[in-house]
Homo-oligomer: A and B are copies of this chain.
Amino acid sequence: MTERLVVIGGDAAGMSAASQARRRRDDLEIVAFEKGPWTSYAACGIPYFVAGDVEELDRLVARTPQAFRDKQLIDVRTEHEVTAIDTGAGQVEVHDHAHGRTFTLGYDQLLVATGGRPVRPDLPGIDLDFVHGVQTLADGQAIHAYAEHGNSEHVVVVGGGYIGLEMAEAFIRWGADVTLLEAAPEVMGTLDPDMGALVRAALERHEVEVRLDTPVSGFEPGRVLTDDGVIEADLVVLGMGVAPNAGLAAAAGIPTGAKGAIVVNRRQQTPVPGVWAAGDCAESHHRVTGDKVHIALGTVANKQGRVAGINLGGGYATFPGVVGTAVTKLCATEVGRTGLSEREATAAGFEYAVVRIEATTRAHYFPGAKPVTVKMLAERGTGRVLGAQIVGEEGAAKRIDIVATAVTAGMTVEDVLNLDLGYSPPFSPVWDPVLVAARQLLPLV
């Protein structure tokens, strides 16, 4: 009898896994259920669709359901929502939204790739029409419509993280009057406050009204309520983080851990035999702290999906984990971070030395040399680099990859200082900003 793999979720992790499994086993029946109309779409592209950088929403779709069916014989069923998993019987219950029917389907192997969901705290009025999360392409369409129809004079962005920053940029570029509300004392909580302040300064240069220490208390039509007063809004965009969408798995008794994400081993197996998980619904291992963490990022979803698919296809692959790398930008200001911030290093029990240096992205005499600030942390005694944060202009953010690689390798500050990096005046000062940080950090560790 044909063995059947059922995949729940048709985005990055699910479809990467399905593709890898198919590549290795053409005898496998693969059924993928996706509750929405799209597969393999780039949710991270939504802010740039709203901003107008990407003109057609379809451009964000890497591969259509029909392409999966035709080219890879993957039975993708969109508008099909899995409503229950029975791990004992080895079957899923599925609701077909298009035809209003519910059915069950057995599986030999099951991959849970149900993704993440934007955090929507239970505040009065949060379900009002003008309050939008940013997750699906439908969200992107809805938010874009406000801008397109001139109905976004006053935009309130709730949350000063990656999505908040990117949505603020989108509406800055539409000429909206943007207010950003941040419950914490500084924006960009994945950076240390001294680096977050540089990002806030960039927001303020673009005339975003940033209100720190200002949690939202509720919404009324046309207004956002805070302890600090009422703010007029045509549109509210929520950027309050992404939680694992693991309720379905949890209800089926599949164990969950960090922030409610599904527990997996390095092959992406859950503790329940025959059940696998990958992507924004699953945990990751943090390679610096050794802790389990929840990181909702397309790169991680793609890698975990690939690993799950290779294993489901009878191969062997492992996902060694993350070091917490992320990049984003606000207009010309680029932001990168990797490894541990001061707060994270302290929480993990590290004693550390830290520097913050100013440099330029190119040789100081080369046109287009832009300022860049690099902060770097290293463990005292061992000198092991724990993390870095970068805020600067063109050419700044992706330099974080050097540190991400060094952190992964367990390099010391002296190792980093001695790295043989590419140098030419249009690309770098003779001491790359990352090396300048290491050079100044070395005497302190």
Contacts and interface: CB of A to CB of B under 8 A. Distances in A.
Size range of the interface on A?
35 or more
A225 interface: no
A404 interface: yes
A162 B423 CA distance: 12
Which of A411, A415, A422 gathers the greatest number of chain B CB atoms within 10 Å? A422
Interface in A323-375: 323-329, 334, 336, 338, 363, 365-367
B409 A422 contact: no
Interface string A408-424: 11010001001111111
Q: How many copies does the complex hold?
A: 2
Nearest to A421: B401
Interface string A425-436: 111101110000
A365 B42 contact: yes
Nearest to A361: B398
Given A336-B422, A422-B326, A366 B53 contact: yes
Contacts of A420: 287, 299-300, 321-325, 338, 404, 408
Contacts of A287: 420
A176 to B, nearest CB: 20
A422 B398 contact: yes
Interface in A227-264: none
B424 A329 contact: yes
A427 to B, nearest CB: 5
A54 interface: yes
Given A45-B363, A45-B365, A365-B45, A422 B408 contact: no
A303 B418 contact: yes
A71 to B, nearest CB: 18
A195 to B, nearest CB: 15
B405 A60 contact: no
A287 B420 CA distance: 10
A179 interface: no
Contact of A298 (B54, B404, B408, B423): B423
Nearest to A442: B317
Nearest to A48: B425
B422 A365 contact: no
B430 A12 contact: yes
A319 interface: yes
Given A329-B424, A408-B415, A421-B325, A60 B12 contact: no
A298 B365 contact: no
Given A298-B430, A398-B395, A60 B419 contact: no
Contact of A400 (B42, B44, B321, B422): B422
A363 B42 contact: yes
Interface string A45-58: 10010000110000
Interface string A308-321: 00000000000111
A380 interface: no
Closest CB pairs A-B (n = 10): A409-B409, A327-B422, A59-B365, A405-B405, A299-B423, A325-B420, A298-B430, A323-B420, A322-B420, A401-B421
16 contacts: A12-B430, A44-B423, A45-B363, A45-B425, A53-B367, A302-B431, A323-B420, A325-B422, A326-B422, A326-B423, A329-B427, A397-B424, A397-B427, A398-B428, A399-B401, A401-B421
Interface of A: 12, 42, 44-45, 48, 53-54, 59-60, 162, 287, 297-300, 302-303, 306, 319-329, 334, 336, 338, 363, 365-367, 395, 397-402, 404-406, 408-409, 411, 415, 418-428, 430-432, 439
